Chains A and B, each alone.
Chain A
Amino acid sequence: AQSVTQLDSQVPVFEEAPVELRCNYSSSVSVYLFWYVQYPNQGLQLLLKYLSGSTLVKGINGFEAEFNKSQTSFHLRKPSVHISDTAEYFCAVIGVYGYSTLTFGKGTMLLVSP
């Protein structure tokens, strides 16, 4: 089984500032990792994913994340946020070879103010 911890329930930041949303996981097997974004009253949109290869993954909307196996982390970063980035962000993991279901963290609300 896997578990996901998103340490920050809410991250306030000013527009054009950099941001990092933290995600740590635990698992007894190798995992695939995902970040999804959810705007109010909408479904989840895939931001980026790590399946294999380079540990630095670039996604949509200028976001990137780095997989750190030794620290079991997959933190999401953006060098300069916009007001439109205000949303809920979910980190999720699933065991390789489909041995588990997709497990979500509790989410981090990114609040971007002018």
Chain B
Amino acid sequence: GAVVSQHPSWVICKSGTSVKIECRSLDFQATTMFWYRQFPKQSLMLMATSNEGSKATYEQGVEKDKFLINHASLTLSTLTVTSAHPEDSSFYICSAKFTGEETQYFGPGTRLLVL
């Protein structure tokens, strides 16, 4: 149980285009989902926390207009990187948790390469 999927697993795009990444909880309802970014050989950096039906809470230094997060249902959150640039290239990982529990279950990650 507690499986989280991400799609796509990798994406290559041209600079200036927008990319959408989906995060789904497959076998549970996730009232809260999280988006992380991971640079090579580094730890995870929390970008934002999203609760179903409400606006995401972004961490300091994360541009909310650049990284659009939508959590429209209890099983789906999306991260859209708008007008992507090479510096946005990274590994993006989502996680989800049950209501009332602090354990986060992570997706397999999405590798974004912006050319």
Partner of B106, one of A32, A41, A44: A44
A interface size (C-beta, 8 A): 21
Task: Annotate B64-94 by CB proximity to A: 1 below 8 A, 0 otherwise.
Answer: 0000000000000000000000000001010
B interface size (C-beta, 8 A): 21
Task: Annotate A26-55 by CB proximity to B: 1 below 8 A, 0 otherwise.
Answer: 000000101010000111111001010000
A98 partner residues in chain B, CB cutoff 8 A: 102
Partner of B105, one of A46, A96, A104: A46
B50 adjacent to chain A (CB < 8 Å): no
How far does the alpha carbon of A30 sit from the alpha carbon of B104 in the complex, in Å? 18
Contact indicator A43/B102 (Cβ below 8 Å)? no
Closest to A32 in B: B102
Task: Annotate B86-115 by CB proximity to A: 1 below 8 A, 0 otherwise.
Answer: 000001010100000011111111010000
Task: Annotate B27-56 by CB proximity to A: 1 below 8 A, 0 otherwise.
Answer: 000000010000000111010010000000
A34 partner residues in chain B, CB cutoff 8 A: 103
Residues of A within 8 A of B (CB): 32, 34, 36, 41-46, 49, 51, 90, 94, 96, 98, 101-102, 104-107
Residues of B within 8 A of A (CB): 4, 6, 34, 42-44, 46, 49, 59, 91, 93, 95, 102-109, 111
